[in-house]
Structure 1
């Protein structure tokens, strides 16, 4: 499941969910006007736009062609350049970035060590790298229902967050320490809200690139209805209020790496 085309389906609802974390990420970066900021896995452009609004010169790196078009459209006249690339293949010169940011994106890199080495290569001598990653908890429990069903069918032992524990500061120190970075981290909270469990299923799972990628396999195996029913039941029992609104709490790590 690591080879997902993030342009499939509609990532826009999830992008809106992640905007508060994007604000925290950009605030923590203490961006100064004129700095070159690189947004890795830019998605719908949350981080890129916020950084540009602070006067930064922004390069948005995104592998999904559809999302690159979304960023170009929403960026308007801002100083945002959109390029095709990944965390492990950034089309920029050595030491050319003052700040590299990744909001729940680099955590999906198939080769974490290669991704961190590439980001360190692009970072300038005083460059800083900041990223967010999910902590184990409620949101993992919900998406885990889908992930485990797919794993049962494919025998894939991988996780949706790559092959290392991105939520561990020690892991990040190991990955970046050899490139001269020291990592500090804080734990932040996010609430994902939908009008109902059914809306959550449709907009955050079925229309999400992960759902679009995996649903045909589950449907063919006769497992999709089961996963849908279980997901809606769990959302209803644990995170749905009397109004019918879902409020799903999520904790995440905000890591800051400096030289």
Structure 2
């Protein structure tokens, strides 16, 4: 599901880039810090760090070589290194980084607590550990509309709704993850960005790329069932007179100090 960088970019990359840029501006840390991007994917957050934070170095890790190939092409900077690695077993010594960030990934890690513990381990004393996840239950409208329509057409699929499958994407469990990892001064805030679509085709076409739980589910449906879902969404999504679809996406941001 997480191998094609091109398909991911078409589906979620444009929004993850916008969110990453907004996130780095909000974190607002001094320059010349050592950064680690855990679950760097195709490099959206790494690129945002380079553009706005003036780091002395950035290390990116991700288990998908396909995503890392795109990240290396996107961020050809000598301060950056990309490594295939699992968030639950980071290949770095203790206290290695001043800032450790993770964007839109911890809910997909089989053991988020192990990943949080590793993030705490490699963060230097006094350093910051900050992560963000989409509010899949409510505020990430692109996905909420999709899964609500799926559940209406197939009640048996309600458990596949990402808002139910990933309870970590809520303020209380997200904050608790950081606290139980041993981080202090833990806060959880929200961050919302606009996610407008040019028309219904601009919304629907990326769901055909099989990258992510929604597109992966869609690929299992027969053609006629895909058509029913498509037409339900076409009638359900809000649209302006010019056909544009004005959605927004909210993310939860957890921050703590080592």
User: Relative to 1, partners in 2 of residues 1:96 and 1:228: Cα closer, same or farther, differing over 3 Å?
Assistant: same
In structure 2, runs of 5+ residues without a counterpart are: none
Q: Counterparts in 2 of 1:33-44, with a 5 A limit?
A: 33-44=31-42
Q: What residue in structure 1 maps to residue 188 of structure 2?
A: 185
Query: Please, what TM-score do these two structures have when normalized by structure 2?
Result: 0.84
Q: CA deviation at 1:47?
A: 1.3
In structure 1, runs of 5+ residues without a counterpart are: none
Query: Please, what TM-score do these two structures have when normalized by structure 1?
Result: 0.83
Q: CA deviation at 1:254?
A: 2.2
Q: Is the 8 A contact 2:163 2:169 kept in 1?
A: no
Q: CA deviation at 1:37?
A: 0.7
Q: CA deviation at 1:216?
A: 3.3
User: Relative to 1, partners in 2 of residues 1:23 and 1:157: Cα closer, same or farther, differing over 3 Å?
Assistant: closer
Find the residue that maps to 2:221 and give its secondary structure. Answer: helix
CA distance in 1, matches of 2:89, 2:233: 36
User: Relative to 1, partners in 2 of residues 1:255 and 1:24: Cα closer, same or farther, differing over 3 Å?
Assistant: farther
Determine which of 9, 15, 28 is the counterpart of 1:12: 9
Q: CA deviation at 1:121?
A: 1.6
CA distance in 2, matches of 1:45, 1:150: 35
Find the residue that maps to 2:54 and give its secondary structure. Answer: coil
User: Relative to 1, partners in 2 of residues 1:40 and 1:243: Cα closer, same or farther, differing over 3 Å?
Assistant: same
RMSD, aligned α-carbons: 2.6
Q: What residue in structure 1 maps to residue 23 of structure 2?
A: 25
Find the residue that maps to 2:82 and give its secondary structure. Answer: strand
CA distance in 2, matches of 1:208, 1:161: 20
User: Relative to 1, partners in 2 of residues 1:184 and 1:66: Cα closer, same or farther, differing over 3 Å?
Assistant: same
Find the residue that maps to 2:218 and give its secondary structure. Answer: helix
